[in-house]
Amino acid sequence: MIRALLLSTLVAGALSCGVPTYPPQLSRVVGGEDARPNSWPWQVSLQYSSSGQWRHTCGGSLIEQNWVLTAAHCISSSRTYRVVVGRQSLSTAESGSLTVAVSKSVIHEKWNSNQLAQGNDIALLKLASSVPLTDKIQLGCLPPAGTILPNNYVCYVTGWGRLQTNGALPDILQQGELLVVDYATCSQPSWWGSTVKTNMICAGGDGVTSSCNGDSGGPLNCQADNGQWQVHGIVSFGSSLGCNYYRKPSVFTRVSNYNDWINSVRIGQAMSPTGPALPWPSEGHGHLSSKNPLPPPES
């Protein structure tokens, strides 16, 4: 009995992240669908202050009570940020949701906004205060270091990005099923070619469902065999031809390539402790598109 109790305790501890109180309702819907409220409880809305108002700019994942994982291209040192956690509707002050100021941003030291295709599009945001974990606010899990998902592995992208190319911005959190496209396929000339690197994940490319502008920085959620959801990807870029262009799958920063960097930031040993001012990636960066719908920050 004691051994059984200990084992159950260890399992509960191992699954302390990535197991929503309200499991997502998973179905393949063309172009995505409204997510079940609070079924992706590590999803955050990254917002910036503009003319006295807060505006959604990117997504992110709560990976510790005071740390959020997002994309480097979402961050500019000229802006003041906050994150909203535990939210389904961006326009509604929902019970159980919280807003927390960002006290520090840490951008990967090898990120170069003029070379988006080199990868390293990853940043961590330290929150001004830790958020309490509830049934609506929970932590996202990191995958084991070095994990490579197989071709056609089923994952879900979530965010408040545009519903289609040049389409409307939703008020309700969206989810969309995306199948992983392995590197051998995605790096073929008829797909992304040499633009995609091994520090990235491709997912989608069916011409129907994809991430889109405003989803940047948000998670690619993939479920492990034990039922735990893991944040395998960070929305990075897509084709300037359109959000859901055939054989141009959404491209994500591969989180499992950066476990050591993430851990070093969290214990205060990373380089570049504060992100420098960076040019905002343009919507037509070569044949790439940053997934952010907003104009460049004021200089």
pLDDT, tens digit (0-9, with 9 covering 90-100), for 64-100: 999 999 999 999 989 999 999 999 999 999 999 999 9
Q: How far separated are the first and last CA of the chain, in Å rounded?
A: 65
Distance between CA atoms of 104 and 285, rounded to whole angstroms? 27
What CATH number does residue 176 fall under?
2.40.10.10
Q: Is residue 3 part of a domain?
A: no
Residue 280 falls within a domain, yes or no? Answer: no
The residue from 108, 121, 240, 290 that is catalytic is 121
Q: What is the pLDDT of residues 213-258, one digit of tens each?
A: 558 999 999 999 999 999 999 999 987 766 666 788 999 999 999 9
How confident is the model at residue 83, as a pLDDT?
Answer: 98
Nearest to 142 by CA among 13, 256, 284: 256
Tell whether 15 is covered by a domain.
no
pTM: 0.84
Domain, as residue range, for 180: 33-267
d(CA 177, CA 221): 9
Answer yes or no: is pLDDT of 10 > 60: no
Q: Active site residue: 56, 73, 108, 232, which one?
A: 73
- Tell whether 215 is covered by a domain: yes
User: In the structure encoding, which two tokens stand for residue 197, read together?
Assistant: 């690197």
Q: Is residue 274 one of the residues assigned to a domain?
A: no
Does residue 124 sit within a domain? Answer: yes
Predicted pLDDT of residue 172: 93
Give the position of tokens 């960002």.
102
Q: Is 153 a member of any domain?
A: yes
- 73 noted as active-site residue: yes
174: pLDDT strictly greater than 80: yes
Q: Would you state the pLDDT for residue 36?
A: 95
Amino acid at the residue 150? P
> Is 225 inside a domain boundary?
yes
Name every residue whose Cβ is closer than 8 Å to that of residue 76 and which is 6 or more positions away in sequence. Answer: 277, 278, 280, 297
250 is catalytic: no
pLDDT in tens, 106-129: 999 999 999 888 999 999 999 999
Residue 121 appears among annotated catalytic residues = yes
The domain total for the chain is 1
